[in-house]
Amino acid sequence: MTTIKIALLGFGTVAQGTFNLLQDNAELIRNRTGVNVEISKIFVRNPNKYSHITLPETAQYVTDIDEVLKDDSIQMVVELMGGTTFAKDCVEGALKAKKNVVTANKDLLAESGPYLLDLASKNGVDLRFEASVLGGIPIIRTLYESLAGNRITELIGIMNGTTNFILTKMSEEGLSYQDVLKEAQDLGYAEADPTADVEGLDAARKLAILASISFNRRIFFEDVSVEGITSIDTEDIKFGKEFGYNIKLLGIAKETSQGLSLNVYPAFIPTTHPLASVRGSYNAIYVKGNGIDDVMLYGRGAGSLPTGSSVVSDIMEVAKNVSYNETGRLKPFYY
């Protein structure tokens, strides 16, 4: 059986979820891919922070990124650090070294996705990013593959787990948003800087990525008009409830006669609407297409194992491509 060596960059919430699934489901992964996926290196700043985690014999911590980028035996780099500076250098370096990349980094993709996808294509390697949007919900592959025969006209969804968790707790337990934010951080839902969640920036980045794929255009974060949930208080929520509405932070991309409209904002949703019953860290998205009419996907939008599940599915897909010498074949739609 072919063995493919991979390196994890970062070992936080998502990386540990990925690590655990790769360990726990190793046999299933081998059976389904015909490949033995071996974690060879884990790049971290301070290995002591992770001394409580037992690594498999094949894996070691490294603190110098060149130990990954210059190691010819590593065929896949899994970037799970976040950020757009050092992470970009690492992803760029890996692609130029003809290593396949899997990432969950929506900030990076919303800013430099087209450039990095071009770079992957030029170097004949894969760049996969299922986990970057809606955590455990398989929306990227659904748009690229299952719904590829549709002209997409609208996307509407709850695209951030942290804010949905906060709004749910505010609505059901009468707590203030500051009280609940700390809990969302402790549960690993929030971004390193949670401003990105509560100000709607994280949802806007995800919308930019999904809209690029759905509408065949290069859409960037700056193209989305954004309003977050920081000005919502328990009174707003109570008021909405009195009239039969729940407040949800929505991301909406829509074809209009004036062009594509891209917005993230908190909205009153009738309690009878399916999106109103999406609670806690769950996310959901409606995709409207001219063949399918409506598709709704629902699932956990954040967290260690749900997001790890998406990362592992990408790792498996890339591993299969490597074993068949087929990497670099999936061209992004917006070419």
Provide the binding-site residues for ligand HSE, judged by CB under 6 A: 135, 160-162, 189-191, 197, 202, 301-302
Contact region with ligand NDP (CB under 6 A), list: 24-32, 166-174, 214-222, 300-308: 300-308
Asked if residue 115 binds ligand NDP (CB under 6 A), the reply is: no
Q: Which amino acid is at 319?
A: A
- Considering only CA atoms, which of 90, 95, 100 is closest in space to residue 35? 100
3-state secondary structure of 181: helix
Residue 160 interaction partner, one of ligand HSE, ligand NDP, none, beta carbon < 5-8 Å per kind = ligand HSE
Q: What are phi and psi of 132, to 5 degrees?
A: -75, -20
Least distance CB 194 / ligand NDP (angstroms): 11
Element (H, E) at 295: strand 293-300
Distance of alpha carbon 88 from alpha carbon 134, whole angstroms: 21
- Considering only CA atoms, which of 299, 244, 267 is closest in space to residue 167? 267
Contact string (CB under 6 A) for ligand NDP, positions 189-218, x = contact: x-xx--------------------------
Count the residues of the shown chain that bind ligand NDP, applying the rule CB under 6 A.
28
Least distance CB 170 / ligand NDP (angstroms): 20
Least distance CB 276 / ligand HSE (angstroms): 18
Q: Among 28, 32, 45, 179, which residue interacts with ligand NDP (rule: CB under 6 A)? A: 45
Contact region with ligand NDP (CB under 6 A), list: 102-110, 138-146, 226-234, 327-335: 102-110
Distance of alpha carbon 166 from alpha carbon 171, whole angstroms: 9
Q: Which of 5, 206, 248, 288 is catalytic?
A: 206
Q: Is 320 a residue of the active site?
A: no
Contact region with ligand NDP (CB under 6 A), list: 54-62, 75-83, 167-175, 242-250: 75-83
Least distance CB 100 / ligand HSE (angstroms): 22
Q: Which amino acid is at 171?
A: S
Asked if residue 8 binds ligand NDP (CB under 6 A), the reply is: no
Asked if residue 188 binds ligand NDP (CB under 6 A), the reply is: yes
Quote the DSSP letter at residue 142: I
For 42, counting Cβ atoms within 10 Å of its Cβ (0-12 exposed, 13-18 middle, 19+ buried), the class is: buried
* Ranges of H-type helices in the chain: 13-24, 26-33, 66-69, 86-96, 106-122, 139-141, 161-173, 177-186, 195-198, 201-215, 234-242, 304-323
Least distance CB 184 / ligand NDP (angstroms): 10
Q: What are phi and psi of 282, to 5 degrees?
A: -70, 150
Residues acting as catalytic residues: 206
Which residues bind to ligand NDP, rule: CB under 6 A? 10-15, 44-46, 49, 80-83, 86, 104-106, 131-132, 135, 188-189, 191-192, 302-303, 307
